[in-house]
Amino acid sequence: MSTPDYSIEQTIHAQGFRRVVGVDEVGRGPLAGPVTAAAVILDPAHIPEGLNDSKKLTPKKRAAALEALLASAEVSVAHASVEEIDELNILRASHLAMMRAIQGLSTPPDYALIDGNLLPRDLTLPAHAVIKGDALSLSIAAASIAAKIRRDEVMAALAQQFPGYGWEKNAGYPSKQHREALQDLGITPHHRRSFKPVHNILYQQKNLSD
């Protein structure tokens, strides 16, 4: 199993780019909640230990990593709403969240490393897409950690308002509890109406009422 390193960033630094930002998003698959992106510029002299793809870290290690990042790196987190997801589609909404995260940095970066195989079409600075970037680039791995934690916090807060869906555990992903709650409790304002399981329930309800 490969772990991310700083070699991609070093190659870009060698080309004269100083402020290299890693960008990743979390939450493309859930049926509910926003999609969340983070942009992180690491300080090459103070890279925290233990950075990895957020999915490979325990919650405790993720929390420790984010604390270290907030003390040593530039971190910006942003969201795209359920309404934006339904209006734009999930890919474009993910890219919108990425752009907002980049724009939220205190000083603009020189170069962006974007997780995935496509660059946001509104991105104007030099950049390249890195497939499975959170397993290759420490900057992207750092962004995956920040985005994951902040989105989980949003879903835990929404779970207080809408109990029964298990969002504090499943973060809006289609777990058994979440799918059953959709049928039993109905659709909330935080559900993505363009996503098939939610769309199908709305369609059934419309047919029953007609």
Per-residue pLDDT tens digits for 9-45: 999 999 999 999 999 999 999 999 999 999 999 999 9
- Angle at CA of residue 144, ends 51 and 155, nearest 5°: 125
Q: Which residue has the tokens 């724009």?
A: 103
CA pair distance 145, 58, nearest whole angstrom: 11
What pTM was estimated for this model as a whole?
0.95
- Cross-strand pairs, 78: 37
Using alpha carbons, select from 55, 19, 10 the residue that is nearest to residue 40. Answer: 19
Handedness of CA 156, 27, 74, 54 (dihedral sign): positive
The domain spans of the chain are 7-209
| Architecture of the domain delimited by 7-209 | 2-Layer Sandwich (3.30)
HEC per residue, 191-204? ECCCCHHHHHHHHH
- DSSP H helical ranges for 75-137: 82-88, 90-103
pLDDT at 210 over 60: no
Average of pLDDT values for 61-90? 98
What pLDDT sits at residue 203? 76
Is 110 among the annotated ligand-binding positions?
no
What pLDDT sits at residue 209? 60
pLDDT at 1 over 60: no
pLDDT at 207 over 80: no
Average of pLDDT values for 90-100? 98
CA pair distance 51, 37, nearest whole angstrom: 17
Using alpha carbons, select from 59, 37, 56, 44 the residue that is nearest to residue 11. Answer: 44
CA pair distance 142, 199, nearest whole angstrom: 34
What pLDDT sits at residue 202? 82
pLDDT digits (tens, 9 = 90+) for 105-163: 999 999 999 999 999 999 999 999 999 999 999 999 999 999 999 999 999 999 999 99
Tell me the residue type at 192: R
What pLDDT sits at residue 104? 98
Average of pLDDT values for 89-102? 98
pLDDT digits (tens, 9 = 90+) for 177-206: 999 999 999 999 999 999 999 998 887 766
Written as six digits, the tokens of 34 are 């926003």
What pLDDT sits at residue 121? 94
What pLDDT sits at residue 204? 75
